Amino acid sequence: MSAFPVHAAFEKDFLVQLVVVDLNDSMDQVAEKVAYHCVNRRVAPREGVMRVRKHRSTELFPRDMTIAESGLNPTEVIDVVFEE
């Protein structure tokens, strides 16, 4: 495992959390790891596909892109949002 820390803001959560993911994790896996710390704790569960983007960007990362391929820097802020 190649640990890679990111700050994550989950849609409708009031916290930004430091979450450790793996460089080989897909964006779907990253979204799941972030959701684990938010959903059913401070955010109600919801149907839909979770997506990842750079903080305050409108462009979503491809779901199968890995952290290593994303160009993100350690501790950079990402948003996890539900796809409309």
pLDDT tens digits, residue range 14-35?
Answer: 999 999 999 999 999 999 999 9
pLDDT surpassing 90 at residue 66: yes
> For residue 82, what are the contacts with CB-CB under 8 A and spacing of at least 6?
11, 46, 48, 49, 50, 51
Q: Which CATH number describes the domain made up of 3-82?
A: 3.10.20.270
pTM: 0.94
C-beta of residue 24 within 8 angstroms of C-beta of residue 2 = yes
Tell me what the mean pLDDT of segment 1-25 comes to.
96
